[in-house]
Amino acid sequence: GIQVEQSPPDLILQEGANSTLRCNFSDSVNNLQWFHQNPWGQLINLFYIPSGTKQNGRLSATTVATERYSLLYISSSQTTDSGVYFCAVDHYGSGNTGKLIFGQGTTLQVKP
Amino acid sequence: DTGVSQDPRHKITKRGQNVTFRCDPISEHNRLYWYRQTLGQGPEFLTYFQNEAQLEKSRLLSDRFSAERPKGSFSTLEIQRTEQGDSAMYLCASSGTGRGAFFGQGTRLTVV
């Protein structure tokens, strides 16, 4: 099956700092999504980004499908950005089921 | 569009009891997924429906687990004879076309 690796596993930032989270995947994908898991456990959609670059406020993401990686940029971080960030992929070999394979996540803590 | 809704949010049950969880997907989405997440891990795929048809089940889904999606609307996930190892967050997601999967708030199960 496809492997999804996220780095770093843990990240501590001072409020206002910028950060880059990385997601590497081992095979071709139909889809890639970034999620933020809030303290209550809900997965909040950040980006649906099988390729290219998207921006949403202080967040942006880039996926280079041919090189099998995606990056999530957080600028001017705020304490509310704290939580776990997951990358998830829909493996091309799964037959277009849409099922997602998740990485292990990056735990971000933003200190005031 | 009220998003994906799951009920209950929390369930505490005694070992050996049966439990049932409900998921109401986004109304226009024809695909529905169940995932399980244990502490410190990313969510893992359990099963997937396209309309009312259950098209794939993970090996994680033992014979004590059953899922249904009557009439292609809401879905239920039942666990029979619960074990302590079933304690986890159970997440439901739905998807249509082209925007990826959207998750509900999850049901946190504790088996005592």
Residue of B nearest to A90 (CA): B100
Distances from the Cα of B54 to the Cαs of A21, A46, B70, B76, B81, in angstroms? 35, 28, 10, 12, 22
Checking if the pLDDT of B1 tops 70, the result is: no
Q: Which residues of B touch A52 (CB under 8 A)?
A: none
First to last CA, chain B: 36
pLDDT in tens, B20-76: 999 999 998 999 999 999 999 999 999 999 999 999 999 988 999 999 999 889 999
Please state, as a whole number, how many other Cβ atoms lie within 10 Å of the Cβ of residue B47. Answer: 22
Structure tokens at B25: 């997907």
- What is the nearest CA distance from A20 to chain B, expressed in angstroms? 19
Q: Across the interface, which of A41, A45, A101 has its CB nearest the CB of B105?
A: A41
Dihedral angle sign, alpha carbons of residues B57, A46, A107, B107: negative
Confidence of residue A84 (pLDDT cuts 50, 70, 90): very high
B59 at A interface, C-beta within 8 A: no
**Inter-residue contact A99 to A89 (CB < 8 Å):** no
